[in-house]
Amino acid sequence: MSLANKLAEERRGRLAAERLLELKQAELSAANRKLGKHAAALQGEIVETRAEVATVKTENARVKTELGQANQKVEIAERRLWHSVQTITDGFAFFDSENHLVAANASYLAIFDKLDVIQPGVHYITILQVLTDEGIVNTGSLAAADWREMMADRWMQPEPEPITIRLWNDQYIKLVDRRGAGGDIVSLGLNITTSVIYEKELKAARAEAEAASRAKSTFLANMSHEIRTPMNGVVGMADLLGETGLSDEQQLYVDTIKNSGEALLVIINDVLDYSKIEAKKLQLHPEPFDLERSIHEVIMLLQPSARDKGLTILLDYDLFLPTAYIGDPGRFRQVMTNLMGNAVKFTAQGHVLIRVTGVSDPDNGKADVTVVIEDTGIGIPEDKTDHIFGEFNQVENERNRQFDGTGLGLAISQRLVSLMEGEIWVTSEEGMGSCFGFRIPLEMTDAKLPEQPPVPDGLRRVLVVDDVAANRTILQRQLEQMGLGVVCCASGPEALQHLTDIDLILTDHNMPDMDGLEFADAVRATGNETPILLLSSNPSVAAGDPGAQHLHAIVQKPVPRADLFARLQSVGPLIQQTAPSAEKAARRKMRVLAAEDNKTNQLVFTKMVKGADIDLKFANNGIEAVEQFSSFVPDLIFMDISMPKMDGKEATTEIREIEQETGGHVPIVALTAHALNGDDKGILAARIDHYLTKPLRKPEIHGKISDACPKDALPPFPPPALDEAG
C-alpha cells in the first residue's frame, strides 16, 4: 500500500475517531444534563420528605400524649365500674366462653364464705359442686346430683331462662344469665327474698279471704234454704186461702200476704243462687230440652204483667235453628226470666222482642245459640252498662227508684251464662230501650233441622192482621216458610179490603180502632166465612166476648211454632168436632201418687190439684211409696225428698230397680225445699226425672201432670171451650 493510501486511511480513521469522540461527548453532556435535572428533582423531594417527617413526628407526639390520656381515662372508668359492681348488693360475675370465672363481685362471692376454690379461673361446674357439697343451696325435692344436672343443662342453653334458687338460710336468689357474642356469660344473682316472702304472705291472705267468703256464702246458702221451708206454708196457704170465699177486705189481706211472700221468695232465691255460685256449689244439670218451648214458658209466666202494661211480647225464633238441645233448662229459664223480667219491668209501652238465632254444625252436633231480648223501655245510660252486671248494682236515678229489685238478677245471669261457657252483653240507648243478649254453646240432641210439616190441603193464602209490624213480619216469615202466600194488613179496616181469595185469617186481638173480635164480626157481616184464628195475649178475656163465636180458635200469643203448625193442620179439613163422648167415657182417669210425709203439705197439694180429673193417692213415706207403686200403678209420682223411714231418693232407686224387671218408666218429680249442692247430684243419681222446688206452684204441678198424662187416660184438665172446638 502506498504511503498516500496509508495517510489517507489514517486520516479517515482519525476523522472517524474524532466523529465518534464528538458523538460520545454529545452523549456525555446529554447524560450530564439529565443527571443534573434528576439531581435537582431529588433535591426537591428530599426537602419535601423532610418536611413530612417533621409533621409526622409532631403528630406522633400528639397521638402519644392523647393515648396516654385515653389510657388513664379507661383505667379510671374500669376502676369506677368495678367499684360500682362491687358496691351493688346483687351478685355479679363474668365467665369466659370456656365457662371459667373471670371476675365476680363481693356479693357473688359472699355466699361461698371465702372458700379458696371460688376464685377467678374456677369452672362453673365446680361452683355448682361447691354449692351442693357445702350445703349452700337448698335443692328442695331434687337430689344434689339432679339439681346440678338441671343447673348445668340450663347454663348450656343459648339463652338460659332466669331461675330462682333457695339458699340454706331461706334467702332466694334469682339468677339471670346472659350469653355474649363471643360465648362469654354475665351472671346476675338478684336477692328477691323480700318479694318471695311478700308473695307468700299475699297468697296466704288471699286463701284466707277466699275461705272467709266461701264460709259466708255457705252460711247464706244454708240460711236462705232454711227460710224457704216455712215460706212454703205461708205462700201455699195464702194461695189456697185466696180461693175460698172471702170478703173484699179479706181478699186484699190475703193477696198482700201472698204477694209479699212471693216477693220475699224471689229475693231469697236470688241470694241463695248468688251465694251458691260464689261458694262454687252451683252445678249445671244438662238434660235434653226444647229451647223454643222453654222460652215460651217464660213468656207465659211474664205475659200477665206485660198484658197489664199493654206490652206486646214477640218471639222471633230462627226457622232454620233446631229446637232440641242438651242443656240445663232450669238455669236457662232463670237467665231468660231475669232478662225478660227486666225488659217488661223497665218498659212502659211498646214491645219486648226476643230473637233467637244460631249457627249449628250438624257434623259435630253443636250449635252456638244467640238470644237477644230487645225492649222499648227506659234504657240504660252508657256509663252504667258495665256497672249493672255487678252484684246489688242498679242504675241510680229517679226513674229506676220506682222499680223493685235487688240488683242481683244480672249478676246471677252473668255468672250462669259464664258457667254455661257463654257470654252476655248489653247495648242500650237511654230513653229508647235496651238490648240484652247472650250466646251459649249447646249440644243438639237431634242434629237434624226441624222438620217442616206438610201444608194442609186447601190452604194456600193467609191474611195476617196485626198493628205491630215486627209481629206481622215474624208470622209472614213463618208462613211463607211453609210455602203459603201471605197478605199482611196493619188494621181491621185495611184487612176488610183484602178478603178475597183468602183461605185463613190470623188476626191479633188488641188493635187500636178495631180490635180482633170486632174485625171478626165485620168479616162475618160481609158474608165471608173464612176461618179466623185470634192471636191473643189474654185468651180468657177474648173467649168471653160475643165476637168469639166467629172464631175458629183463640191462640195464646206469641204462638210457639209447633202450635201454629198444629192450628194450621186443623184448619185444612175445616172445623172438626172433638172425639165422640162414647170414646171419652171408655177412657180411665190418670193415676197420680204423691209421696209426702207432712200433713200440711199434703193438704196444700190436694188443694192445688182440686178440680183436676185425676186419681190422687198419698204415701206417707218412701216405703209406702214403693208399695203403692206396685199396687196403684201410678202414671206420675210426686216424691218429697226428705221423708222418714225411707227418703225420696231411696224410694226412687227401689222403684227404678223394680222397673228394670217389669219394664216401663214412670215419671218421678222430686219435691225439694231447695236443691243444695250434693242434693242435686243425689236427685239425678237416683234417676228422678224432674224436680220442683217448694213452695209448690199450681201451674208447675199442673204442667207436670199434663205432660205425664198417658194417651189412654182422660185429659186431667178440660181444655177451654173454644180451644176444644178448634
Q: Which residues in this chain contact ligand ADP in the complex, by CB under 6 A?
A: 338, 342-343, 346, 375, 377-380, 388, 394-395, 400, 405-411, 434
| Helices and strands in the chain: count of H runs, count of E runs | 22, 23
The amino acid at residue 208 is E
The β-bridge partners of 94 are 103, 186
Q: How many CA atoms lie within 13 A of 195 on its CB side?
A: 6
Residue 139 near residue 147, CB atoms below 8 Å: yes
Q: Of 232, 209, 158, 155, nearest to 187 (Cα)?
A: 155
Minimal distance, residue 404 CB to ligand ADP, in Å = 7
Q: Which residues contact 15 (CB under 8 A, 6 or more apart)?
A: none
C-beta of 393 vs 642, nearer to ligand ADP: 393
CB atoms within 10 A of CB 642: 14
C-beta of 267 vs 447, nearer to ligand ADP: 267
Residue 635 near residue 708, CB atoms below 8 Å: yes
Return contacts of 8-11, CB within 8 angstroms, 24+ apart: none
Minimal distance, residue 265 CB to ligand ADP, in Å = 14
C-beta of 360 vs 434, nearer to ligand ADP: 434
Strand 614-619, strand 590-595: pairing: parallel
C-beta of 91 vs 377, nearer to ligand ADP: 377
Minimal distance, residue 471 CB to ligand ADP, in Å = 20
Minimal distance, residue 601 CB to ligand ADP, in Å = 30
Q: What's the distance, CA 155 to chain centroid?
A: 43
Q: How far apart are CA 24 and CA 505, in angstroms?
A: 145
Minimal distance, residue 280 CB to ligand ADP, in Å = 21
Minimal distance, residue 416 CB to ligand ADP, in Å = 12
C-beta of 426 vs 559, nearer to ligand ADP: 426
Minimal distance, residue 294 CB to ligand ADP, in Å = 19
C-alpha cell at 149: 344436672
**Strand residues in 96-184 grouped as ranges (E):** 101-104, 137-138, 163-167, 172-179
The β-bridge partners of 368 are 359, 441
Minimal distance, residue 278 CB to ligand ADP, in Å = 15
Residue 276 near residue 221, CB atoms below 8 Å: yes
Minimal distance, residue 339 CB to ligand ADP, in Å = 7
Minimal distance, residue 291 CB to ligand ADP, in Å = 21
Q: What's the distance, CA 362 to chain centroid?
A: 22
Per 3-state DSSP, the chain is made up of helix, strand and coil in percentages (nearest 5) of 50, 20, 30
Instruction: Taking the CA atoms of 482, 484, 489 and 492 in sequence, report the sign of the dihedral they define.
Output: negative
Minimal distance, residue 208 CB to ligand ADP, in Å = 29
Residue 478 near residue 462, CB atoms below 8 Å: no
C-alpha cell at 440: 251459649
The β-bridge partners of 193 are none
C-beta of 262 vs 613, nearer to ligand ADP: 262
C-beta of 377 vs 516, nearer to ligand ADP: 377
C-beta of 402 vs 581, nearer to ligand ADP: 402
C-beta of 375 vs 680, nearer to ligand ADP: 375
C-beta of 379 vs 726, nearer to ligand ADP: 379
Taking CA atoms, 130 is separated from 105, 144, 235, 692, in Å, by 18, 11, 78, 71
C-beta of 394 vs 556, nearer to ligand ADP: 394
- Residue facing ligand ADP at closest CB distance: 405
C-beta of 222 vs 385, nearer to ligand ADP: 385
Three-state DSSP state, 114? coil
C-beta of 298 vs 651, nearer to ligand ADP: 298
Minimal distance, residue 675 CB to ligand ADP, in Å = 23
C-beta of 218 vs 376, nearer to ligand ADP: 376
Strand 172-179, strand 185-191: pairing: antiparallel
C-beta of 335 vs 666, nearer to ligand ADP: 335
CB atoms within 10 A of CB 424: 21
The β-bridge partners of 92 are 188
Q: How far apart are CA 280 and CA 392, in angstroms?
A: 19
Minimal distance, residue 498 CB to ligand ADP, in Å = 37
Minimal distance, residue 316 CB to ligand ADP, in Å = 18
Instruction: Taking the CA atoms of 122, 123, 125 and 128 in sequence, report the sign of the dihedral they define.
Output: positive
Minimal distance, residue 436 CB to ligand ADP, in Å = 6
Q: How far apart are CA 92 and CA 69, in angstroms?
A: 29
Residue 189 near residue 173, CB atoms below 8 Å: yes
Instruction: Taking the CA atoms of 187, 192, 196 and 202 in sequence, report the sign of the dihedral they define.
Output: negative
